[in-house]
Structure 1
C-alpha cells in the first residue's frame, strides 16, 4: 500500500474528509425522514409497543431526538428478529410494512454503515502510514 503522504493533497483531503460529508448527508436524510415520513411510519407500526409508548411524542422533541428515533426505527426494520424478541416490534406490523418505507430506511442504514466503514478505513490508513 502506498503512503497517504505521497497522495495528491486534494485526494487525501477527500479521502479523509469524505466520511464526514457522508455523515452530514445521513443526518440530513434522517431529518428528512422524520419530518416527511414519520406519520406513515407510525401508521405502519401502530401495533408495535415502541410506537404505542412513544408515538405521541415522536417527532416533537427536537432535532437530536428525531435523529435518535429514526436510528431506532431503522434498526427495528433492519433487524426485526431482535426487536420482535425484545417486544418493541409487532410481527404483523413488520410483515405489512410498506416496501417504499423499507427502501427508505434501508438507504438510511446503508449510509450509516458506509460512514462507519469509511471511518475505519481512514483510521487504518492513517495509523499505518
Structure 2
C-alpha cells in the first residue's frame, strides 16, 4: 500500500476532509428533520414509552438535545427489535411507522454509519504511513 504522503494533495484533502464534511451535512440534515418532521415522528410513535415520557419536551430543550433526539429516533426506527426489547418502542408503532419518514431516518443512519466507517479508514491510512 502506498503512503498517503505520495497521494495527490487533492485526493488526500478529499480523503481526510470527507468525514468532516459528511459530519457537517449530517448535523444540517438532523436540523432539517427536527424542524420539519419532528412532530410527525412524535405522532407516529405516540404509543411508545420514550415519546410518552419525553413528548412534551421533545424539540424544546435546545439545539444539542434536539440533535440527540433525532439520533434516538433514528435508532428506534432502524433497529426496532432492540428498542422494543428495551421498552422504548411500541411494536405497533414500529409496524405502522410511515414509510416516507422511515426512509428519511434511514438516510440519516446511512450518513452516520458511512461517516464513521470513512473516518475509521482515514485513521487507518494515517496510522499506516
Which TM-score applies when normalising by structure 1? Answer: 0.98
Instruction: Name the count of aligned residue pairs.
Output: 129
2:76 aligned residue: 76
Is 1:85 the counterpart of 2:64? The answer is no
Map 1:96-111 to 2 at 5 A. Answer: 96-111=96-111
- Structure 2 segments unaligned to the other structure (5+ residues): none
Report the Cα distance in structure 1 between the residues aligned to 2:14 and 2:103, rounded to whole angstroms. 28
Report the Cα distance in structure 2 between the residues aligned to 1:34 and 1:49, rounded to whole angstroms. 20
1:48 aligned residue: 48
Once superposed, which parts of structure 1, at least 4 consecutive aligned residues long, lie more than 4 Å away?
none
Report the Cα distance in structure 1 between the residues aligned to 2:60 and 2:35, rounded to whole angstroms. 10
Which TM-score applies when normalising by structure 2? Answer: 0.98
1:4 aligned residue: 4
Report the Cα distance in structure 1 between the residues aligned to 2:83 and 2:7, rounded to whole angstroms. 45
1:123 aligned residue: 123
The CA RMSD measured in Å over matched residues stands at 0.6
SS of equivalent residue, structure 1 residue 37: helix
- CA apart distance, 1:128: 0.5
SS of equivalent residue, structure 1 residue 10: helix
**How big is each residue's C-alpha offset from its partner over 1:37-85, in whole Å with a ceiling of 9 and x where there is no partner?**
0000000000000000011111111110011000001000111111101
Report the Cα distance in structure 1 between the residues aligned to 2:2 and 2:77, rounded to whole angstroms. 40
